[in-house]
Amino acid sequence: MAVADEAEPESVLVPYENPLSQEEKDGGWITLFDGHSLFGWTSNAAAVNWHVTDGAITASEGPRGLLLTSVPFADFEFTCEFQLEAGGNSGVFLRTIPQPAKVDQDCYELNIVDAHPDGYLTGSLVGRARTAEPITGSGDWKTCRVVAEGRRFQVFLGGEQVLDFTDDTDGFRPAGHIGLQRNEGAVSFRNLRLRPLGMHDLFNGTDLTGWRIVPGSKSEFAVEDGTIHVTNGAGFLETEPTFGNFIFQAASQTHAAELNSGYFFRAMPGTAEAPSNGYEAQIHNGFDGDRHHPNNAGTGAIFRRVEARYVVPNDNEWFTTTLIANGPRIAVWVDGYQVVDWEDTRKSDENPRKGQRLAAGHISLQGHDPTTDISFKSLRAVELPAK
């Protein structure tokens, strides 16, 4: 799959822009487009001229092709705005494989079009379900919202529900990427947002059921006011269940400047001798004068692998981390803003400190050192179903 401006050159600093409200950040919403670059997206047709102009992802030339999120999603609420040239043809592909061939098996194609030979007009799922009334796709900017939960898909255009479809066929797809299509004419997309659904709580708010303290830990893990409060260190608190390909979200708050912690994942069972053999999504809010230059990899970084491209949160304030691991691809959002899109290309190894680990492992909370003073809440996760 060809890459379309997957990451900006180091010399190019993308301006930070986060349109999410505090309520949306707390509710687990993420932005799929930073307003300035194609970070987090890949193209399956290199000849399509995907680019960013006037705060929108745009394409007007090239063959039929998709611009795809680098990681998949399962159940979600998705919103975007689109604008299509008159007579054009486009769409939003939901739960798609990177190179879909059959629209009734490989994806759910939410059509954006003015005319279609089989009546699958704007708001329809091509080859699967038509809207009750014909809807034109071109013209002024239009708002789209999709709620995909299991086999049910609800589509809203301009706030009005236009489709309610349940897929009872053998072509049902439980997960996949989101793709923006360029077929004919110019098309633009902006304000792309998503909220994962179907997440399962990992913390009940009252005790540490479902968690275990790794032997040898010096950290103290206390349940206080519906949070897990971690002090002192070093130490680790790990989940009893394991996760392989998954979506994870959690809120955290550091209680002093530039404290160090993290979420370890796909981790081997912790022992006194080897407490933290996993990948680490870093928590460290320090930066060197400019939030594009973190002091210690930056919150959301995959520590010792890739730095966060921007330090989003502040110490002494709650912020939400969203982590998606799918095969060797790992993506991280902080307060809904994507800071990491990374592929582990190392040789396979049981220990992620030494190489690529795709096998399921534990998620653990880190107490870093004697200065540790951090709280966690709203911890939830869901396994990504097989495609």
Last residue of a domain, one of 140, 169, 196: 196
Whether 329 is in a domain gets the answer yes
Whether 350 is in a domain gets the answer yes
Whether 4 is in a domain gets the answer no
Place 7 in a pLDDT band, splitting at 50, 70 and 90: very low
0.75 cut: is pTM over it? yes
Beta-bridge mates of residue 253: 375
Q: Are residues 29 and 177 in the same domain?
A: yes
What is the tens place of the pLDDT at every residue in 135-144?
A: 999 999 999 9
Amino acid 340: pLDDT: 98
What is the tens place of the pLDDT at every residue in 78-89?
A: 999 999 999 999
Q: Are residues 110 and 184 in the same domain?
A: yes
* Helix (H/G/I), strand (E/B), else coil: 25: helix
Mean pLDDT of the chain: 95
Domain of 262? 201-383
Q: Are residues 358 and 288 in the same domain?
A: yes
CB atoms closer than 10 angstroms to residue 66:
29
What is the tens place of the pLDDT at every residue in 157-198?
A: 999 999 999 999 999 999 999 999 999 999 999 999 999 999
Amino acid 10: pLDDT: 44
Closest C-alpha to 303, from 274, 283, 288, 321: 283
Residues 6+ apart with CB under 8 A from 170: none
Amino acid 387: pLDDT: 66
Whether 41 is in a domain gets the answer yes
Amino acid 2: pLDDT: 38
Q: Is the pLDDT of residue 265 over 70?
A: yes
Q: Are residues 188 and 209 in the same domain?
A: no
Total domains in the fold of the chain: 2
Amino acid 59: pLDDT: 97
Last residue of a domain, one of 138, 165, 196: 196
CATH number at residue 263: 2.60.120.560
- How big is the chain by its Cα radius of gyration, in Å? 21
